[in-house]
């Protein structure tokens, strides 16, 4: 018996180690290296002088600029998440409860499909739509009796629109799965006992779909806080966020230790959010 | 009466969402066939930008590099990921839960953090920037997806079939090749397509890891957009979105995405 276990153990190790060695070399060691870097005073290349220091973290807490930008990114994350929920929940509800059969399957796929296509290209497509004298402005002016100037490009609104477009399918996906799991007979029972539509929504559907809704919210919020490409392309002058400052440290300013510290603070925020929501997320998966 | 009205409003809402999701993509595609380089209307059909594309060496090299990296990522991630899924399916061992939980950081941590961390580490060990680094990064990002998709398929596999084959004298490798793999093949194909898509559409990690001279297609598009729009980028973006949507449609057919088939 002991021998059989060892042989199985060997087989399991042989099957698992390539994947996990790869993940270690490409994800876990780099994250540790970043923590180490965030404690350096300068990049340890060539003949640069460097020592271990907490200055990079001190810069975050003392100057206030970075903290303000992180707060700006968190607010952006909250805005995008709330908009996604407000427009995504009714959509998921219709999909899960009013549409049946094959058309539901096809519509579901249609909604998920853009999410799996190139995010950069989708953001770029909004740049074409939103720019002044662009398609949106022409379309609006064709409908309205008076002319208005509608140049949303390089505004925070453009950033929010692009990000909602990028992450809306997440919320619809998780909420749809949660709503689909609600037994229709439960709703019928509530109705037969005289519950109104609002009561059913508030007392039955919302509580039961809450795990899915929150899972979607986390899946939207986390990447939006770290977004940098979307604000760069759609935000222009107003597109400075926490993510773009980190990008700058690595590709423009070359202050890698500061960039590493800023990244690590972002990671701490993300892990905190994931940890706080993990009981709910686990319930959503079950 | 009001129920019917609500249901109709709901369907209208769904259609509006679909318009919101697809309109910009369709407009971008239409504009790539418009003669005006400044997206001026009225629309005038032209294939100029696609013709310009075929003469653009930078875009062509980047496209070939992107497809090459995506294919390599697909092969490596599918092999490693399928092996790991088989181990999770067959064996019970200590630390299994921890190993499965470790699949989430590469998916859940924003790519900005993963990408910059990879840059720091690969520079530290002397690998530096360039195509090999990009490939290492892409495989790591694709692996968890392959493991999740293949494991989902394995969950529908009747393990007594493996026991039956083994009791008839088949060795472990024969069982895998003749019994298990044929059954999970749709999952493996779907996982492979997901891996291809993850790599082909990946921008953030490639951006930090590629050398200025040998960018992947998305990285090249990003730098071009920041320099100013060109309709050529428009044309190449249209091609990319069609490829990645087609890959995902095929992947969805192979996995049980929209329910059982």
Query: Over the stretch A71-111, which tens digit does the pLDDT of each residue have?
Result: 999 999 999 999 999 999 999 999 988 888 788 888 988 89
Q: Tell me, what's the pLDDT at B21? A: 95
pLDDT (0 to 100) of residue A283: 65
- Taking each helix axis from N to C end, the angle separating B2-31 and A65-93, rounded to the nearest 10 degrees, works out to 120
pLDDT reading at B240 higher than 50: yes
Nearest to A103, CA basis, from A86, B22, B16, A111: A111
Greatest mean pLDDT among A77-91, A265-279, B21-35, B184-198 lies in: A77-91
3-state secondary structure of A17: helix
The answer to whether position B69 is within a domain reads: yes
- The residue-averaged pLDDT of A178-202 equals 86
* Average pLDDT of span B160-169: 88
- pLDDT given at position B206: 96
For residue B57, pLDDT beyond 80? yes
Chain A residues within an 8 Å CB radius of B240: 118, 121
* A1 has a pLDDT exceeding 70: no
What is the separation of C-alpha A213 from the centre of its chain, rounded to a whole number of angstroms? Answer: 14
Angle at B16 between CA B15 and CA B19, to 5 degrees: 90
Q: Using CA of residue A206, residue A208, residue A214, residue A217, what is the dihedral sign?
A: negative
Residue B22 lies in a domain: no
Within an 8 Å CB–CB cutoff, is residue A268 touching chain B?
Answer: no
Region of residue A48 (phi > 0: left; psi between -120 and 50: alpha; otherwise: beta): beta
Q: What pLDDT score does B260 carry?
A: 42
Domain A66-285 listed as CATH 1.10.3720.10: yes
Which residues does chain A have within 8 Å of residue B87's beta carbon, measured at their own beta carbons? 11-12, 15-16
Report whether B247 contacts B197 (CB < 8 A): yes
Decide: helix, strand or coil at residue B23: helix
What is residue A52's three-state secondary structure? strand
**Taking CA A249 as the corner, what is the angle to CA B112 and CA B200, rounded to the nearest 5 degrees?**
35
Q: Tell me whether residue B215 is in a domain.
A: yes
Residue B187 inside a domain? The answer is yes
Range in A146-150, A207-211, B10-14, B197-201 the model is least confident about: A146-150
Yes or no, beta carbons of A91 and B93 under 8 Å apart: no
Q: What integer pLDDT is reported at residue B88 of this predicted model?
A: 94
**A63: closest CA of chain B, how far (Å):** 22
CA angle A220-B22-A132, nearest 5°? 90
Q: Which domain holds residue B180?
A: 56-254
- The larger pLDDT score, comparing residue A139 to residue A242, is at A242
How many C-beta atoms lie closer than 10 Å to residue A106's C-beta?
A: 12
Judged by DSSP in three states, B45 sits in strand
pLDDT at A203 > cutoff 80: yes
* φ, ψ (nearest 5 deg) of residue A211: -55, -45
Separation CA A167–CA B16 (nearest Å): 16
CATH number at residue B141: 1.10.3720.10
CB crowding A237-271: b at 16 or more within 10 Å, else e? eebbbbbbbbbbbbeeeebbbbbbbbbbbbbebbe
What is the DSSP code (8-state) at residue B214? S
pLDDT at A159 over 50: yes
Give the contacts of B38 (CB within 8 A, at least 6 positions apart): none
CB A35 within 8 A of CB A57: no
Q: Which of residues 200-259 of B touch A (CB under 8 A)?
A: 200-201, 203-204, 207-208, 218, 221-222, 225-226, 229, 233-234, 237, 240-241, 244-245, 248-249, 252, 257-259
Nearest C-alpha neighbor of B54 from the set B41, B42, B45, B63: B63
Contacts of A281 in chain B (CB under 8 A): none
Per-residue confidence (pLDDT) for residue A22, from 0 to 100: 97
Q: What is the pLDDT of residues B172-226, one digit of tens each?
A: 888 888 889 998 998 899 899 989 999 999 999 999 999 888 899 999 999 988 8
Domain count, chain B: 1
A217 interfacial to chain B (CB closer than 8 Å)? no
Nearest of B125, B111, B133 to residue B211 by alpha carbon: B133
- Band of the pLDDT at A285, cuts 50, 70, 90? low
Kindly report the nearest CA distance between residue A62 and chain B, in angstroms. 23
Res A114 pLDDT > 70: yes
* Other C-beta atoms lying within 10 Å of the C-beta of residue A111: 23
Instruction: Please state whether the peptide bond connecting residue B42 to the residue before it is cis, i.e. omega within 30 degrees of 0.
Output: yes
Residue A89 pLDDT:
94
In a domain, B142, yes or no: yes
**Predicted-complex ipTM score:** 0.90
A22-71 residue pLDDT tens:
999 999 999 999 999 999 888 777 667 788 888 889 888 888 899 999 99
Query: What pLDDT is attached to residue B136?
Result: 97
Residues 6+ apart with CB under 8 A from B240: A118, A121, B200, B201, B217, B218
In whole numbers, what is the pLDDT of chain A averaged over residues? 87
pLDDT value of residue B256: 58
Residue B167 covered by a domain: yes
């Amino acid at each position: 018996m002991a021998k059989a276990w060892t042989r199985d153990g060997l087989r399991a190790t042989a099957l698992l180690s390539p994947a996990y060695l790869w993940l270690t070399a490409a994800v876990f060691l780099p994250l540790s290296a970043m923590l180490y870097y965030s404690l350096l005073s300068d990049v340890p290349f060539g003949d640069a002088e460097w020592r271990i220091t907490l200055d990079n973290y001190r810069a975050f807490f003392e100057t206030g600029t970075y903290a303000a930008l992180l707060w700006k990114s968190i607010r952006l994350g909250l805005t995008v998440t709330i908009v996604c929920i407000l427009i995504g929940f009714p959509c998921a509800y219709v999909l899960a409860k009013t549409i049946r059969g094959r058309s539901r399957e096809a519509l579901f796929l249609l909604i998920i499909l853009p999410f799996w296509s190139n995010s950069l290209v989708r953001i770029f497509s909004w740049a074409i739509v939103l720019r002044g004298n662009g398609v949106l402005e022409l379309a609006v002016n064709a409908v309205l009796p008076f002319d208005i100037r509608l140049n949303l490009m390089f505004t925070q609104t453009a950033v929010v629109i692009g990000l909602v477009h990028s992450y809306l399918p997440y919320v619809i996906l998780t909420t749809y799965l949660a709503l689909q799991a609600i037994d229709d007979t439960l709703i019928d029972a509530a109705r037969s006992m005289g519950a109104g539509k609002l009561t059913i929504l508030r007392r039955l559907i919302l509580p039961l779909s809450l795990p899915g809704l929150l899972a979607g919210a986390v899946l939207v919020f986390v990447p939006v806080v770290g977004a940098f490409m979307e604000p760069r392309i759609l935000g222009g002058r107003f597109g400075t966020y926490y993510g773009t400052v980190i990008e700058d440290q690595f590709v423009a300013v070359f202050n890698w230790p500061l960039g590493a510290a800023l990244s690590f603070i972002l990671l701490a925020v993300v892990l905190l959010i994931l940890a706080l929501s993990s009981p709910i997320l686990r319930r959503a998966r079950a | 009466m009001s129920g019917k009205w609500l249901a109709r409003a709901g369907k209208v809402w769904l259609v509006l969402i679909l318009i919101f999701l697809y309109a910009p993509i369709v407009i971008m595609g239409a504009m790539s066939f418009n003669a005006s380089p400044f997206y001026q209307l009225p629309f005038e059909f032209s294939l100029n930008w696609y013709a310009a594309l075929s003469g653009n060496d930078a875009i062509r090299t980047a496209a070939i590099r992107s497809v090459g990296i995506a294919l390599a990522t697909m092969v490596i991630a599918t092999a490693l990921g399928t092996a790991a899924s088989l181990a999770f399916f067959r064996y019970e061992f200590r630390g299994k839960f921890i190993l499965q939980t470790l699949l989430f950081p590469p998916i859940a941590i924003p790519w900005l953090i993963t990408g910059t961390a990879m840059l720091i580490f690969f520079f530290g060990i002397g690998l530096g920037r360039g195509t090999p680094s990009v490939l290492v990064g892409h495989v790591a990002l694709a692996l968890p997806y392959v493991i999740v998709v293949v494991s989902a398929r394995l969950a529908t596999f009747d393990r007594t079939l493996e026991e039956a084959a083994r009791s008839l004298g088949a060795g472990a490798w024969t069982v895998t090749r003749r019994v298990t793999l044929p059954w999970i093949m749709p999952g493996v194909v779907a996982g492979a397509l997901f891996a291809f898509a993850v790599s082909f559409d990946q921008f953030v990690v490639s951006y930090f890891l590629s050398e200025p001279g040998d960018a992947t297609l998305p990285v090249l598009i990003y730098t071009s957009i920041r320099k100013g729009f060109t309709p050529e980028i428009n044309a190449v973006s249209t091609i990319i979105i069609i490829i990645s949507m087609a890959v995902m449609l095929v992947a969805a057919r192979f996995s049980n995405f929209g329910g059982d088939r």
